[in-house]
Structure 1
Amino acid sequence: MPVVENSLETEGTSASSTSEQGSEQDGKAKAADSSSGNESESDNSDTAEGAESSSTKEGKDNSSSSDDSQSKNDLSDNVTDYDSLLKTLSKKLKEVQAEKEEDMQKTEQKAEQDISATKQNVAQDRVTEQARNVARQSDEKMINSAIMDGPHAKVTYRLHDFSPASCKEAYVKMNNTYSLERIGKKMAQKVKPIFEKKIKGAVYHGQHCGSRISIPHYQKDSSKPFDRIKKPEKISLSCTVIIDQSGSMYGYKLESALRAAAIIKNFCNELKIPTMVFGHSSSYPTMDIYRFCEFDGSEDEIYTLAAGNAHCGTRDGAALLYAVNKLKDRREEKKIIFIISDGSPCDYGYSGITAYKDIQGIIKSASAYGISFFAAAIDEDKESIAKIYGEDRFVDISNLDDLPSKMAYVLKRALKIR
């Protein structure tokens, strides 16, 4: 029995030990399982972390590669932009160079044209100057041989010319200041109806005599029953303007005289009237004639009027003789001499009654050539001018704005237009 108990105890003990061992084994197994589980979890976590890290690395690698590719693309775009910009700049540079070359060519062509034009102008000026010199010498010979007797018998004429080119600037200034061309054109517009009346003809009603009876006028006034018919006529007219350049004309008088001459010249140019303009002064025995514009001269000769200056004495009769000798052989039927003077002839042996009689004798003899005389006065010179040339030949030009109406009066008298 005791043996049994012992055996039982032994069995119990063994069983318990076995169970303990089993439990220990189970515990170990569980521990092993838990450790294996932990290890597997750690392995799994390590695997996950590795995967995450690898994915992160891959992402970084991908992002870095994408950044690299983006930077490469940006660089490529920048290179393309720079290439395009360089091409554009190169194109613009070529265009600028082409424009510069074209401008240089145009400048060279312009310079060549200017040089050519200057050469032509110089050549033309030389030809004109030579022609004027020849004409001047011819005129000097003509007038010096023509004056054989009278108070001017021992006078020697000396003619002077001016270069239009050297006087242009001064004349343009004078013209812009006083509107000489405008007044000349205004005067032409005022006078044109007179010319048209002469050219087209006219019928004058209510006349004492005429070619036909006008019934209405006969019934109204039996003393003037006729119509007078003026047939159309061709206007054949030339004009000469003489400017007194003596010392007594110095200042305002001479300036006004030169402006008046320029207006008359512009007026005659508008109406296609051949016109000569010259000034005069004397210092016995020399008579100086300053030729500004010739009948057949160039249009720019009017510039020379800016060169007019006051000089010495006045020998009006000698100046009138020069004009008459220039006009008498011209083909125009009517010729006008327009004198601008202060009416004070004064030179050695030539003044007072001697001068008056000389001038009046020249006026009378010149009428045989169809020459009419009109004298213009400025301010206080009116009385002396009217005394020498006569009231019917006197024109007051103190106010140049009144010159159109004054010139209309002159032409009416010269052309005998009512």
Structure 2
Amino acid sequence: MRKSADSEDSSSLLSDQSTDMASSDTGDNGAPQYHEANPEPMSEDAKQRERDFRKKLNQAAREIVSDSIHARVKLIVHRPDYDQDSKRQYIRLSQELMPVVQEIARKTLPLLEHETSAEFERNRYYGSRFQADSVAYRDYRYFAKKRTPSESPSLVVGLRVDESASMSAFGRLEAAKRAVIAVYEFCRLCQIPVVIYGDTADVSKLEQMSLYAYADFDKPDVHDRYRLMRIQARSNNRDGMALRIMAERLVQAPQQTKLLISISDGQPKAMDDYTGSYAARDMQQTIVEYERKGVAFLASAIGQDKDVIHDIYGQDKFLDIANLREFPARLVRIIARYL
């Protein structure tokens, strides 16, 4: 597998987690107790780089939708900050998840090495070699094909999080955060480039679409894991616009396999009249357009509108998440299947 130039060694992951925290003892349950360290202020150069990156993201997003039905929608891409509360929340949610994520990564990495050395690309819809061990997955990716010298078994992952107001109900928001942590840390362990955005609509008349760039493969940062904790329930959702922007980002990435996962609890709904069949048709047209460009879509439905989400994406791209506690591990295992 080709490694990202900006990725870091997986062995440094746990030490990264303690960059701004220190552990000196354990609690009654054996879990480490973390003590806050004084955060280092961001330098002026670093602040300027963040501003430049945010400006670049805004320009790119507006260009992507300039020829779509969303061309006149007032869009702002934010680059959320993080604080000590974000770090504490990350530690609380990640402690239970990390052993599971690390175990899946431990089993996946040797397979990647074997797959690369064998020079066969697995889990394809067609090919010269039949993989009997893949039949159990029932996704029709039963074949392997010989990889030419120019091909790479690389993967890039996009994760879109619906930040509509309804995500605040029934533990959905925390379930989404747990899943996002699991995906982010798994991708770091396996050195997979990942982009994680949240989105909402109709914050104001001057901000009809809001994107939140929590992690981006163009500017990886070990502190992105803390930014993920700024995901929250906000307002409406303009799903087709978010999918288009993220899918285009994946198309522009050099990795061969491009996977875009959407975590959502409901059907699209935004002002003015972006709802019902009109919004569903926009999403379906976006999916078809970018599937032709090589992007694979998966929809993780965690709310009451599962039937609507199923109808929009189709059975082969739909994940019915009935058990929110099992959601993170299930999502990570699915990503591992694409490697």
Give the TM interval when normalised to the shorter protein: 0.7 to 0.9
Q: Does 1:171 align with 2:95?
A: no
> Which residue does the alignment assign to 2:285?
361
Deviation per residue, 1:231-262 (Å, 9 max, x gap): 46732111111100011111411211111011
Aligned counterpart in structure 2 of residue 273 of structure 1, from 162, 175, 192: 192
Amino acid at match of 1:384: V
Comparing both chains, which one has the higher relative contact order based on Cα–Cα distances under 8 Å and sequence gaps of 6 or more? 2
TM-score, normalised by the number of residues in structure 1: 0.59
> Which residue does the alignment assign to 1:159?
77
Alpha carbons 2:162, 2:198 under 8 Å: kept: yes
Distance in 2, matches of 1:352 and 1:203, equals 40
Quickly say closer, same or farther: Cα 1:229–1:299, change in 2 above 3 A: closer
> Which residue does the alignment assign to 1:182?
99
What is the deviation of 1:338? Answer: 0.9
The structure richer in helix per residue is: 1
Quickly say closer, same or farther: Cα 1:203–1:315, change in 2 above 3 A: closer
Distance in 2, matches of 1:171 and 1:236, equals 28
Aligned counterpart in structure 2 of residue 263 of structure 1, from 177, 182, 191: 182
What is the deviation of 1:173? Answer: 2.5
Deviation per residue, 1:124-183 (Å, 9 max, x gap): 5x433322221111111222233234431211211122223442223223323xx23223
Alpha carbons 2:266, 2:305 under 8 Å: kept: yes
Alpha carbons 2:121, 2:153 under 8 Å: kept: no
> Which residue does the alignment assign to 1:288?
210
Quickly say closer, same or farther: Cα 1:387–1:267, change in 2 above 3 A: same
> Which residue does the alignment assign to 1:404?
329
Q: Does 1:352 align with 2:276?
A: yes
Residue correspondence of structure 1 range 350-389 to structure 2 within 5 A: 350-378=274-302, 380-389=304-313
Amino acid at match of 1:189: R
Give the SS at the match of 2:176.
helix
Alpha carbons 1:190, 1:404 under 8 Å: kept: no
TM-score, normalised by the number of residues in structure 2: 0.72
What is the deviation of 1:211? Answer: 7.9
Distance in 2, matches of 1:163 and 1:337, equals 24
Structure 1 spans left out of the alignment, 5+ residues = 1-116, 213-227
Quickly say closer, same or farther: Cα 1:194–1:370, change in 2 above 3 A: farther
Give the SS at the match of 2:252.
coil
Distance in 1, matches of 2:162 and 2:72, equals 21
Aligned counterpart in structure 1 of residue 45 of structure 2, from 107, 122, 127: 127
Q: Report which stretch shifted further, 296-305 or 390-399.
A: 390-399
Structure 2 spans left out of the alignment, 5+ residues = 1-36, 131-142
Deviation per residue, 1:96-139 (Å, 9 max, x gap): xxxxxxxxxxxxxxxxxxxxx979x3245x43332222111111
Larger radius of gyration: 1
Distance in 2, matches of 1:272 and 1:264, equals 12
The structure richer in strand per residue is: 2
Percent identity reads 27
Distance in 1, matches of 2:303 and 2:233, equals 18
Deviation per residue, 1:369-415 (Å, 9 max, x gap): 32111111225443222211111111234344354344434553x45
> Which residue does the alignment assign to 1:310?
233
Q: Does 1:339 align with 2:262?
A: yes
Residue correspondence of structure 1 range 133-282 to structure 2 within 5 A: 133-166=51-84, 167-176=86-95, 179-192=96-109, 194-196=111-113, 198-201=115-118, 230-231=145-146, 234-251=152-169, 252-282=171-201
